[in-house]
A and B are shown apart, each in its own frame.
Chain A
Amino acid sequence: MNSLLVSRRVIFTIAITSFSIYLVFILNPEGALRILINLLTFAGIYGLSAIGLNVHFGWTGLLNFGHASFMGMGAYVTLLLMPHAAGREGEVTTSGLPIIIAVFFGIAAAALFGLLLGLPAIRLRGDYLAIVTIAAAEIFRLLVRDLESITGGVYGIISYTENLQKFRPEFINSLSLNYEFAPSQAWVGIIAWVSIILTLFLLKRLNSSPWGRALRAVREDEDAVRAMGKNAVWLKLQSFMLGAGIAGLSGVLLAFNYGSLETTVFVPLLTFYVWAIMILGGVGSLTGPIYGSIIFWVIISETDRLAYIFFENANGQQLAGFRFLLVGLLIMLLMIFRPSGLLGKKEELLLDVK
């Protein structure tokens, strides 16, 4: 009975996701594939980030509202370690590490930032942790903006995409000629989805392990964890580091997808997008954020077309409003009819609507 319900949930989720993708083709008679690849690349990157957030909130119960800063840390450290150009004058740095090593350091830096942020904050509970993390993320962003000599400040970083694009396989180029999509973006998208698969493989292993079990126990009751002789603080720090590392990788991919990096990318709104995706997909569910992310990005990128159907003369501002109206409506419907998200377990419902 139970397994039947689970599979029904999965079928429903896959159906609604497929329908979203189908919608892209319906709404765009021309260039649908190009739009779809753009959308799926963003969905992959944000989905990866939401998977990291799920380690924090879904597994360990940590209210992390500073997720954007982990993404930023990963992105900035990686880019600055590779050949790039930065700042007002576009000062060129030609020497640097190979991309694989730079990304490794980027992820490590994000994880370390998670540890650093966690040390003072992790003893706080619930909403207090949320306040500290959102503040820390803003401090990070403003610091990056003001340390112009290192980070390029408001002028950002450019000319780094070649580090990745030089490894682009030939078949993407030839396909792009036939189907008219951006080959560089497709390459980032492929890497994003491969990263998701690898990350999910790792997390699936951890989820069913004693370590994953310990994190869930921390989520349920920290005092009881301590009373059983377990170091709850250390467990929370480990969770913080793992989730931050995953976010760091997604930040790197986001930077490669944009082609140039500015601090404005990592505003709190990014964090809330990732939260919305996680809630949509199902808190605590491993694969949920993937579906959540695709549906979320279809709405974000296709509402313009949808709005034209309803309001023929809508301008840009009205469209933006309509977009968030739809996202809000969807989350409201979800909270009413499926509060555990698309794939979350009802028994492990984390967002109680009271």
Chain B
Amino acid sequence: MSNNLLEVKNLKKSFGGLQAVNIKELIFKKNQLTSIIGPNGAGKTTFFDLISGFQTADSGDIFLKGDDITNSQPYKIARMGMIRTFQLTKVFDRMTVLENLMFSGSSVTNDSFTKSIIKSKKQRNYEIELKDKSYEIMEDLNISHMADSYARELSGGQKKLLELARSIINNPDTLLLDEPLAGVNPKLAEDLLGLIQKLSSRGISILMVEHNIEAVMKISERIVVLSEGALIADGSPSEIRNDKNVIEAYLGKDDE
């Protein structure tokens, strides 16, 4: 059994003349907390879109736990246990927080049209369990007092929490977090970081795109640096901190 979670080979994606992603080879190991950093426009979010199926690559191959997912639909990839969040938080605005969670936790068979008409005892029991599970997660994340509020009434930070709660309700083995700390106040950012570390220690593999370098340095086991779509550095936080290429990419070359 291979220890590779995600393998990317010769992955290319361009928009018009702009090469958004151009990665020769990149392998992510299971049970690691890896951060992807890079200047604005480095192709981090595009990279996430490609591996989660929201965009299709021009060329190249992507393997998730050994299976080719290069042209797979997003929902199929999610069902394989890899769940993503979005840079601009996407919650179901006109549904309650509880409904947001119950929808996300509900299995595909539970959602079926015919089962929803019949409403068997089995389904009702499943829904009760789902509700309990949702409350458990809300309590973990301190949003249980908001259970019956519409998601659009939540603050930006609470929406981030809700999105995270929604992502973990089905016990995924991999999380793709797209800027989980963006626009969040320092106190909540601290809490979120702790939460991410806790999830990681539970054995969930995490890939995270984040601009908060300090936070990234603090919690990551490995950091991958992208610039103009290409991989320019890859290593532990201390290695990245002193990497010449990285410093150049962020600050520009010395002789300029």
Interface window among A18-26, A35-43, A147-155, A210-218: A210-218
Interface window among A102-110, A227-235, A302-310: A227-235
Taking CB atoms and an 8 Å cut-off, the chain B residues in 81-136 that contact chain A are: 83-86, 90-95, 99-100, 102-104, 106, 108, 110-113, 115-117, 119, 123, 127
- B91 to chain A: which residues have CB within 8 Å? 220-221, 224
Asked if A210 contacts B93 (CB within 8 A), the reply is no
Contacts A210-B110, A213-B103 known; A229 to B75 CB distance under 8 Å? yes
Interface window among A77-85, A170-178, A181-189, A201-209: A201-209
Taking the complex as formed, is A226 at the interface, i.e. its CB lies under 8 A from any CB of chain B?
A: yes
Q: How large is the interface on B (under 10, 10 to 19, 20 to 34, 35 or more residues)?
A: 35 or more
Shortest CB distance A246–B (Å)? 14
Contacts A227-B52, A232-B75 known; A213 to B106 CB distance under 8 Å? yes
Shortest CB distance B154–A (Å)? 13
Shortest CB distance A251–B (Å)? 22
Asked if A224 contacts B90 (CB within 8 A), the reply is yes
Q: How large is the interface on A (under 10, 10 to 19, 20 to 34, 35 or more residues)?
A: 20 to 34
- A209 to chain B: which residues have CB within 8 Å? 116-117, 119
Asked if A220 contacts B92 (CB within 8 A), the reply is yes
Asked if B94 contacts A224 (CB within 8 A), the reply is no
* Chain A residue nearest to B54 in the complex (CB): A223
Shortest CB distance A136–B (Å)? 24
Shortest CB distance A325–B (Å)? 33
CB contact between B103 and one of A214, A226, A348 (< 8 Å): that residue: A214
Shortest CB distance A213–B (Å)? 5
Asked if A220 contacts B94 (CB within 8 A), the reply is yes
Asked if B150 contacts A347 (CB within 8 A), the reply is yes
CB contact between A216 and one of B94, B117, B119, B127 (< 8 Å): that residue: B94
Asked if B104 contacts A228 (CB within 8 A), the reply is yes
- A348 to chain B: which residues have CB within 8 Å? 94, 150
Shortest CB distance A268–B (Å)? 29
Taking the complex as formed, is B12 at the interface, i.e. its CB lies under 8 A from any CB of chain A?
A: no
Subset of 26 A-B contacts with CB under 8 Å = A205-B117, A205-B119, A209-B117, A209-B119, A210-B103, A210-B106, A211-B112, A211-B115, A212-B116, A217-B103, A221-B90, A224-B86, A224-B166, A225-B75, A226-B53, A226-B73, A227-B74, A227-B78, A227-B83, A228-B83, A228-B166, A228-B170, A229-B79, A231-B73, A235-B111, A348-B94
